[in-house]
């Protein structure tokens, strides 16, 4: 279990570092938050998977830890704040009198 825990921690750090290196503008939060989220999510999901699979498939546990770490790290991504991108608004800006319906005679 100790070797697997070290592997889970390394997977989490690799996922977090890859996210920061590949898309640095998407993660405006601190680097520590991104790396910490990746690390903790890999450790927790790896330990849960290890016990769920009864320790029989360590490669599957490491793979699932990598996927879970990537998914939870992606929650921190903010593509709307990336440089050079316009924020996507759900509604158009209001114009004066736009809410009134005009009748045509």
Taking only the tens place, the pLDDT of each residue in 6-59 is 999 999 999 999 988 888 888 887 888 889 999 999 999 999 999 999 989 999
The residue length of the chain stands at 105
The answer to whether the beta carbons of residues 69 and 41 sit under 8 Å apart is yes
d(CA 10, CA 46): 11
Question: Please, what's the b/e burial string for 40-72 (b: 16 or more CB within 10 A of its CB; e: otherwise)?
Answer: ebbbbbbbebbeeeeeeebeebbebbbebbbeb
Between residues 84 and 43, which one has the greater pLDDT? 43
Q: Tell me what the mean pLDDT of segment 73-84 comes to.
A: 77
Distance CA 79, CA 26 (A): 5
């Amino acid at each position: 279990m100790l070797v697997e825990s070290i592997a889970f921690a390394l997977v989490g750090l690799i996922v977090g570092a890859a996210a920061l290196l590949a898309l640095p503008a998407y993660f405006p939060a601190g680097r520590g938050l991104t790396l910490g989220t990746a690390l903790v999510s890999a450790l927790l999901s790896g330990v849960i998977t290890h016990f769920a699979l009864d320790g029989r498939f360590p490669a599957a546990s490491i793979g699932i830890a990598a996927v879970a770490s990537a998914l939870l790290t992606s929650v921190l991504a903010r593509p709307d704040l990336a440089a050079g991108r316009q924020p996507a608004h759900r509604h158009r800006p209001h114009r004066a009198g736009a809410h009134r319906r005009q009748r045509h005679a």
